[in-house]
Chains A and B, each alone.
Chain A
C-alpha cells in the first residue's frame, strides 16, 4: 500500500520591490493580504492550508507576479540538537 506524503504547509512571500499595490491579492485572499496604510501591503507568510486555493488564486491574479509560493516537499530544516 502506497501512502501519499502529507502536503507541505503553505508558505508565501511577496517581492515588495515588484509589488505595485494593485490589491488583487487582497480581493482574492482577504484573510492573508491587507493594506496597512494606503499603499503598503502586509501579509501572512504561513496562513495555513485552509486558504491554499485563495492564495493560489491571489498569486495567479497578481498583475506583476510578485507572489512566490512554497514548492518544496522536504521537511523544514531544524537546528543541530533540535533547535532552541
Chain B
C-alpha cells in the first residue's frame, strides 16, 4: 500500500450503522486514527448513545433516571447523525445502505454495529399481552419501571440468566414478590455452568425469590382487554400475575442484511479476526467491517468456534480495532483478540469474569468457598485454564487474566492463602453437554445486559 493509498483510506465516506456503544466509540476512534472524510452514524433508537447496563439495575430500582445514562462523548467527531432511522437494507457491490424512510446512503467503507435485541415471547403464546415486558432499551426500562411502581402482586421473570437475575434482584429491592422460571437446573447455567449456578440459586432464595428450576412457561394468559392475568407453568402451577419479564437471551439485529450476501443470521454477522465482514461465499468483504454484540469472529484463544460476546468491554475494544483497520491497508491491519471480560451486579454482589467460562469442561474453587459471600472459581478445558469468575473479589482477576493469556495449565497453581488445601476440580455442569463433551454450537456468553450487559451492553 502506497502512502497515497493509505491516505485515501482516511478520506471518503464512512457510514456506521448502529449508534450505541460500539458505533459511538468506533466513530471517535476513526477521528483518532486520522479519518478526515464524511462520517455518518445511523441509529434506530431516537436517543443519543446511552449505556445499557444500568437499565436492569439502578434505573429499574428507581435510583437513577433513564435520562441520566447518556454515554460521555469523549471527543468531537464532526458526524452527521441519523437517529430514529433504522437501516433496512445493504447493497454490498453498489456500496449503499437503505434506510426505513426511503433514503439510501452511499459509502466507501461501512461499519456494522447494529447489536442485539431481546428475544420476545411468541405472540400466539401471550407475548402480545399488556404486562409482558422485555428489557433492552430505555423505553423498555421506563415501561417496566412504571409497571413495578404500580405495585403488582407478583412479577414473573422468565429466564435466570444475567438479565433475569438483575431484574429479579431489583424487584426484591423494591419489595415486590418475584417468581423466576429457569429451563435448566440452575441460574446462570448456560454462561457459568451448574456448579456456580447452584451457588447463585442460594442468592435468589436468600432474598425470597420463588425460583422454579427445570421449569418452563407453557402459556401467558390475558383477560378480555388483553392484559396479562395468569401464567401456566410446566410444573402444573397456574399463577396469577400482572407483570412478566422475558429474559431468555438476545437475537442479533441482522434482518436488514437479508439479501446482502453477507454471512449473517440471528446469531450475528460472521467476521474475520481483523473485523472485516465475511460473505456467504466465505470470502471477506474488503470495505465492510463489523464490531460489537452483532459480530461473530474467530479468537485464537478459543479455536474451533466463532465467538459472539454481548460484552460492554468487547464493544469498545472491537470498535477501536475496526476503526484502526478501516483506515489502513491490508498489510497494517491487526486482529481483534482481547481477553473477554464481563461483569454483573445482582443480589448485592459484584460478579466479574475473564476468559470464556462457557467453553470449559471442569471448574474448581480457588479462593473462598461457594457458600461464602466472596469466592473465585477457575474454569478449565482439557487441562488448560480458559476462564475465571470472581464474586465480590474484584481485585484478584488481573493475575488470573495473565494466566489465561499464557495458556496456563488447569487446575492453576496459585498458592492462594485463602484457597482450599487441595484443589478438587469437578465437572462444570453445563446443560446439554456430556461431561467433557464437545461444544455443539457457538459460544454465546450473556452480557451485563443482554445482553449486554449483559451488559450487558
Contact = CB atoms under 8 A, between A and B. Distances in A.
Asked whether A and B interact, the reply is yes
B46 interface: yes
Nearest to B312: A17
A74 B73 contact: yes
B70 interface: yes
A19 interface: yes
A79 B345 contact: no
B345 A44 contact: no
A78 interface: yes
A20 interface: yes
Contacts of A42: 54, 57-58, 63-64
Interface residues of B, number: 48
B357 to A, nearest CB: 15
Contacts of A20: 394-395
Nearest to B79: A77
By secondary structure, the B interface counts as loop
Interface residues of A, number: 34
A37 interface: yes
Contacts of B341: 17
A45 B55 CA distance: 13
Contacts, number: 122
Contact of A70 (B58, B64, B69, B72): B72
Contacts of A12: 72
A37 B343 contact: no
A16 B41 CA distance: 26
21 contacts: A11-B73, A17-B312, A20-B394, A21-B394, A36-B345, A37-B349, A39-B349, A42-B57, A44-B68, A45-B51, A45-B64, A46-B67, A69-B72, A70-B72, A70-B74, A72-B74, A72-B76, A78-B48, A78-B83, A80-B84, A83-B83
Given A17-B343, A36-B348, A74-B76, 4 more contacts: A13-B51, A37-B392, A45-B70, A46-B67
